Amino acid sequence: MHKRSKQLFLESCQVLPGGVSSPVRAFKAVGGTPLFITRGEGPFAIDVDGHRYIDYVLSYGPLLMGHAPQVVVAAVEAALRQGTSFGAPSEKETVLARLLIKHMPSLELIRFVNSGTEACMSVLRLARAYTGRNKIIKCEGNYHGHADALLKQAGSGVATLRLQDSPGIPWHATQDTLVVPFNDIGAMERAFDAHPGQVAAIIIEPVAGNMGVVPPAPGYLQGLRQLTAAHDALLIFDEVMTGFRVHPGGAQARYGVAPDLTTLGKVIGGGLPVGAYGGRRDIMAMVAPEGPMYQAGTLSGNPLAMSAGIAMLESLPASWVAADNAAAEIAAGLKAIAKRRGARIQVHQVGAMFSCFFSDVPVADYTSAKQCDTARYARYFWAMLQSGIYLPPSQFEACFTSSVHGAAEVRRTIAAFEAALKA
């Protein structure tokens, strides 16, 4: 069925570690070999063997309007003809920054970078520079990219592959990284109390997406805001995944909590490689050349990525409303089927992100997420694939919808789910 993909995987394994450019893609957690995708078309991903799948990976989030939307393609094509990189300021950076600020008013100043990893790595340096403190607090199962200081009890591929963090990270790189359970305000309080005057910031995915989708408990984010204020520490929301996914203004708008700093990723480049960090003017003023905190990048603010991002963000809020509707309908359909069949499944949906956890118990943190039956997820994954539905190859990744996942796709997905439960 996947003859050409298998052949290409054999070949890629000769020249790429594990045959892939990013670990989660390798299908290690679900078995078999990865599909090689040749093109995307609206809600569909098409593989090299000619199969057409309804795509819920969507490049892990950025494709809010599906694959190759006309407005983004036209914007990138036009930009391409004018040059791919200048190493000098271009007006598009200001245009995109203004759009971001319009949707997320907590962003008073923004620095563009090239990925979510870079954004999170840089924002930590900034938080430490601003506060003069070293310790940061992160949550178990949250993933903030692969920078040394943040790769501690991380979700995403680290969880998928059941890795113990990573060799190659010097012990001292994570000695100031405190890790607490997600959704546990008491644990956060204890971390602050154990290190008085030493915590620079909490960095958190306000809706966890890298252990599957886990919403914050009521009042949790507000509690973090109060705690950081009480301890003169900064609150950083990693909205690489949730930005423009859980609300047109991100999780900060959905839950009404303004962080001091925010990181953003791929969605702000319409799927092109990009990231950003931004926030309070007095903090961001520390970034060079305005201030002394050094961080740089030749390709930062790349004109192709800026053009795609502008086109993507100009589609808000309509694109978000449509993507959110699709996810809500799918989640409702899945929940109804699971209930009717007495299946041991927890369905979570926040905006245009959803997850189906194979577990008896409610999933509220990394400990409960890890209790899921991952073998069952693997069977479900393959059954869905047989029905033409492409899901993330891991229980610990989120599913994403787009504005072009219409009624027909939603119906087909729900029907496939019902069939897959029998598998």
Least distance in angstroms from the C-beta of 27 to ligand HOZ? 13
**For ligand HOZ, which residue has the nearest CB?**
22
CA distance 324 to 352: 4
Active-site annotation holds for 130 = no
- Alpha-carbon torsion 389, 390, 392, 394, what sign? positive
CB nearer to ligand HOZ: pick between 54 and 399: 399
Residue numbers at the binding site for ligand HOZ (CB under 6 A): 22, 24, 60, 143, 156-157, 210, 241, 397
Least distance in angstroms from the C-beta of 262 to ligand HOZ? 15
Least distance in angstroms from the C-beta of 26 to ligand HOZ? 10
CB nearer to ligand HOZ: pick between 22 and 166: 22
Residue 112, beta-bridge partner list: 276
Give the residue among 313, 306, 241, 238 at the shortest CA–CA distance from 60.
241
CB nearer to ligand HOZ: pick between 43 and 157: 157
Least distance in angstroms from the C-beta of 396 to ligand HOZ? 8
Least distance in angstroms from the C-beta of 333 to ligand HOZ? 25
Active-site annotation holds for 60 = no
Rg (CA), the chain: 21
> Tokens 């699971």 label which residue?
338
Neighbours of 143 (CB within 10 A): 29
Residue 136, beta-bridge partner list: 177, 201
CB nearer to ligand HOZ: pick between 131 and 349: 349
Least distance in angstroms from the C-beta of 24 to ligand HOZ? 5
CA distance 381 to 304: 34
> Tokens 């050409």 label which residue?
4
List 47, 176, 238, 324, catalytic entry:
238
Q: Which helix (H) or strand (E) holds 3?
A: helix 3-15
DSSP 217-273: PTTHHHHHHHHHHHTT-EEEEE-TTTBTTTBTTHHHHHHT---SEEEE-GGGGTTSS
> Tokens 């694959």 label which residue?
67
Give 292's DSSP letter: S
CB nearer to ligand HOZ: pick between 57 and 326: 57
CB nearer to ligand HOZ: pick between 238 and 329: 238
Q: Does residue 289 have a cis bond before it (omega within 30 degrees)?
A: yes
Active-site annotation holds for 238 = yes
Q: Which residues are known catalytic residues?
A: 143, 238, 266
